[in-house]
Amino acid sequence: MKNNIYNGTKIDLHLHTRVSDGSDTPEELIGKVKEAGIELFAVTDHDAVKGCGIVQEALKEGDPLFVTGAEFSTRDDLGKYHILGYHYDPQSKAILDLVEKGHSLRMKKVTGRLEFIKSEFGFTFPEEEIQKLLTLDNPGKPHIGNLMVKYGYAESKEVAINEYINKLHYKEEYVKPEEAIEGILGAGGIPVLAHPFFGSGDELILGNDMDERLKRLMGFGLQGVEAFYSGFSNKFINQMLGLSEKYNLYVTAGSDYHGTNKLVILGDTGLLEGMEPPAGLLRFYSAIF
């Protein structure tokens, strides 16, 4: 089984469920992972570990291998970072405290955004819709965007987010990257920088800026990079693989699948069939198994 995982495109370590902003339940995702022939997968819901617990309970003998995951949205004065955490203890106080902080900030932002689009644009929703939104595990901008489309305030979720919701900025309230990395490490996990080249909005982090960003995050304890990603060109992949070897970092591969909420195919990681597994990916596999 170990060798088979790395002889083809049978790995996807960046998947979202309804616990955050995916369209599939954790149980539905398992079925789709099996249909896609994925042999090793992780659920990486935003600021949440609940989906991982559901998947662990639902998996049966003979099902694909699973590793716990999560994706934490972080920011500091130098930029925005998404930090993936893998192979952590989901019952650890360190990870649960991190999830609670991320969730609390997320809920505060949701209510703030609802108030903002009401006061600035006059967009209102029935109270039952608002309560339904607030009872979700991890509501965010996509959920508000979908509501705006439903009630005719925007033609698409993307328009809703880019032209209205993103007009409100929360520069002072965020989880810092060092906090996310510390929480993941404290739970026995492996912190990995998600889609490393992508910064805030359309920003690309390249060249020396990428090198300095990695060194800075490594100073906090970062251990890996998502070198294979659905949105990466071969040039990006090769550059990140080079940096992973330069700094002896783990390598992961993920699609960032969100079901129908994002135009990404399950298993589309850029890790091509027949490709010799990079050393960093093999190191990651050895660390989790």
pLDDT of residue 3: 43
pLDDT of residue 203: 86
* 121-174 residue pLDDT tens: 999 999 999 999 998 888 888 889 999 999 999 999 899 999 999 999 876 678
* Residue that is written with structure tokens 């070198």 in the block: 227
pTM (predicted TM-score): 0.89
Question: In Å, what is the CA distance from 92 to each residue of 17, 49, 278?
Answer: 22, 11, 31
The residues, any chain, with a CB within 8 Å of residue 156's CB and separated by 6 or more, are 149
- Whether 14 contacts 255, CB under 8 Å: yes
Q: In angstroms, how far apart are the furthest CA atoms of the chain?
A: 57
Domain annotation for the chain: domains and CATH numbers: 2-98+176-288 (3.20.20.140), 101-167 (1.10.150)
pLDDT of residue 116: 96
- Whether 55 contacts 43, CB under 8 Å: yes
Give phi and psi for 177, each to the nearest 5. -60, -35
